[in-house]
């Protein structure tokens, strides 16, 4: 697929219905020979629409008008290219905790949490957020972050948040919510119309800054065993991840599943359907945006919406 097709496909399959701003921009980039030539100077994985649009917003460029966007990007290309080469798409969505919570709460407490692919670690604080599953509410009433999740089926709704006594993240490129540039980058990754997500990011970042959980630089395969060995023995170890394994090869996914299966404790995965080949179900997914499959120790439990906004128990 050439770069123009990639932008056309992004407009049609990802931005349409979600972000009129990005849909318009992506369609315009797809037809713009000058911008496509610039993008093609970058390595193939760095030509992504999300990366370009976030880089331009990060640098203060305009995204509301395709002509102004083209002129600005063309003039500022060296700076845009440096940003795209240095940064990655690492959206961190605290709301994914809403689909993890019913599983975390059922495990023997207390918990020691390891999140692989943690980005800035916002999903390492499931005990700090308030949740509403329809009219079922749980979590600290004073929390500034409220996560709403629509539920279907026999979801085992918890009465309390889990007791977390230890937490740590692992990421190839950890982001630091205490670093203004990293926080600005995380903010630029949220699409322009997603005001609620931006507000949630700001509030969740405040929580993470106040009670930092370490996110170590490392690879989910090579560096997980050493990190797991530092977890306290008197708590249930839970290794979890969401929206991460799509970034690694099929061989790495299989090796990771084997590795984590050999660790003590439990493994929670929340990944796009098909990403973990052994994690499958006959129950058809709900309509709408490509769903994720939530699984405990490789056994599917629920279909989930990609940003944690819905949970359909199998
Ligand atoms: C889309 S973000 C998801 C962040 C977080 N899990 C969430 O749900 O909000 C994917 C993260 O996985 C990380 N990642 C990708 N490949 C990895 C690897 N091999 N080892 C560790 N982290 C990885 C990326 O750096 C990025 O921060």
**What number does the ligand 1 atom closest to the CA of 270 have?**
8
- pLDDT on residue 280: 82
Counting every residue written for the chain, the total comes to 314
Q: How confident is the model at residue 288 (pLDDT cuts 50, 70, 90)?
A: low
Interatomic CA distance for residues 37 and 47, integer angstroms: 11
* Closest to 158 measured CA to CA, from 103, 236, 95: 103
- What confidence score (pLDDT) does residue 2 get? 96
- 172-193 pLDDT per residue, tens: 999 999 999 999 999 999 999 9
List pLDDT tens digits, range 32-42.
999 999 999 99
* Mean pLDDT on 209-228: 97
Q: Whose CA is nearest to atom 11 of ligand 1?
A: 117
Whose C-alpha lies nearest to ligand 1, atom 2? 90
Ligand 1 mean position, distance from CA 115 (Å): 9
Q: Of residues 285 and 314, which shows the higher confidence score?
A: 314
Q: Give the list of residues 6+ apart from residue 217 with CB closer than 8 angstroms, or none.
A: 171, 172, 173, 174
Query: Does residue 217's CB lie within 6 angstroms of at least one atom of ligand 1?
Result: no
pLDDT of res. 285: 82
Token pair recorded at residue 99: 């689909």
With cut-offs at 50, 70 and 90, classify the pLDDT of residue 289.
low
Q: What pTM was computed for the model?
A: 0.94
**pLDDT confidence of residue 277:** 81
How confident is residue 278, by pLDDT bands cut at 50, 70 and 90? confident
Q: What is the pLDDT of residue 1?
A: 85
pLDDT in tens, 50-103: 999 999 999 999 999 999 999 999 999 999 999 999 999 999 999 999 999 999
> Which among 89, 98, 119, 240 is the best mutation to test ligand 1's pocket, defined by most ligand atoms within 8 Å of the CB?
119
- Ligand 1 atom 1, closest CA: 90
Decide whether any atom of ligand 1 lies within 6 Å of the 170 Cβ.
yes
Ligand 1 contact via 243 beta carbon (within 6 Å) = yes
Question: What pLDDT is recorded for position 283?
Answer: 82
Q: Which of 264, 263, 273, 310 shows the shortest CA–CA distance to 295?
A: 273
CATH 3.40.50, applies to 94-313: yes
**Would you list the domain boundaries of the chain?**
3-86, 94-313
Question: Beta strands of the chain (E only): which ranges?
Answer: 111-116, 130-133, 136-138, 146-148, 150-152, 164-171, 215-217, 236-242, 266-272, 292-296, 299-304, 310-313
Q: How far apart are CA 289 and CA 272, in angstroms?
A: 10
8-18 burial, b if ≥16 CB within 10 A, otherwise e? Answer: bebbeebbeee
The whole-angstrom separation of Cα 189 and Cα 168 is: 23
Task: Output the pLDDT for position 90.
Answer: 95
Q: For the chain, state the CA radius of gyration.
A: 20
Among residues 120, 128, 169, 124, the alpha carbon closest in space to that of 147 is found at 128
- Cβ atoms of 44 and 68 within 8 Å: the answer is no
pLDDT tens profile 102-127: 999 999 999 999 999 999 999 999 99
Ligand 1 in reach of 126 Cβ (< 6 A): no
Structure-token match 């205490």, residue found:
178
* First vs last C-alpha separation in the chain: 36
- Helix, strand, coil shares of the chain as percentages rounded to 5? 40, 20, 40
Quickly state the pLDDT bin for 300 (edges 50, 70, 90): very high
Pocket test for ligand 1, best of 172, 216, 219, 252 (most atoms within 8 A of CB): 172
Alpha carbons 176 and 202: distance in angstroms, whole number: 13
Q: How far apart are CA 267 and CA 251, in angstroms?
A: 19
The closest-lying atom of ligand 1 relative to the alpha carbon of residue 220 is 20
Is pLDDT of 287 > 80?
no
At residue 209, φ and ψ (nearest 5 deg) are: -70, -35
């Amino acid at each position: 697929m050439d770069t123009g097709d990639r932008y056309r496909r992004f407009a049609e399959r990802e931005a349409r219905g979600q972000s009129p701003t990005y849909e318009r921009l992506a369609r315009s980039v797809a037809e713009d020979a000058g911008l496509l030539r610039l993008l093609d100077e970058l390595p193939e994985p760095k030509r992504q629409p999300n990366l370009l649009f976030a880089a331009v917003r990060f640098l203060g460029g305009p995204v509301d008008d395709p002509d102004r966007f083209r002129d600005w990007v063309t003039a500022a290309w060296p700076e845009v290219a440096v940003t795209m080469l240095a940064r990655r798409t690492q959206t961190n969505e605290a709301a994914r905790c809403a689909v993890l919570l019913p599983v975390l709460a059922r495990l023997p407490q207390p918990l020691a949490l390891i999140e692989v692919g943690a980005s800035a670690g916002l999903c390492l604080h499931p005990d700090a957020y308030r949740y509403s599953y329809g009219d079922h509410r749980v979590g600290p009433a004073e929390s500034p972050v409220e996560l709403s999740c629509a539920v279907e089926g026999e979801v085992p709704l918890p009465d309390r948040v889990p007791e977390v006594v230890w937490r740590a993240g692992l990421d190839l490129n950890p982001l630091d919510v205490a670093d203004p540039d990293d926080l600005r980058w995380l903010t630029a990754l949220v699409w322009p119309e997603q005001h609620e997500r931006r507000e949630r990011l700001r509030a969740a970042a405040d929580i993470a800054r106040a009670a930092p959980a370490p996110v170590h630089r490392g690879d989910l395969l090579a560096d997980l065993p050493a990190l797991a060995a530092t977890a306290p023995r008197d708590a249930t170890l839970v290794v979890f991840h969401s929206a991460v394994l799509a970034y690694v090869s099929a061989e790495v996914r299989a090796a990771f599943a084997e590795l984590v299966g050999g660790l003590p404790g439990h493994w929670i995965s929340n990944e796009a359907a098909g990403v973990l080949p052994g994690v499958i179900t006959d129950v058809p997914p709900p309509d709408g945006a490509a769903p994720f499959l939530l699984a405990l120790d490789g056994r599917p439990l629920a279909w989930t919406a990609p940003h944690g906004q819905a949970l359909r128990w199998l």
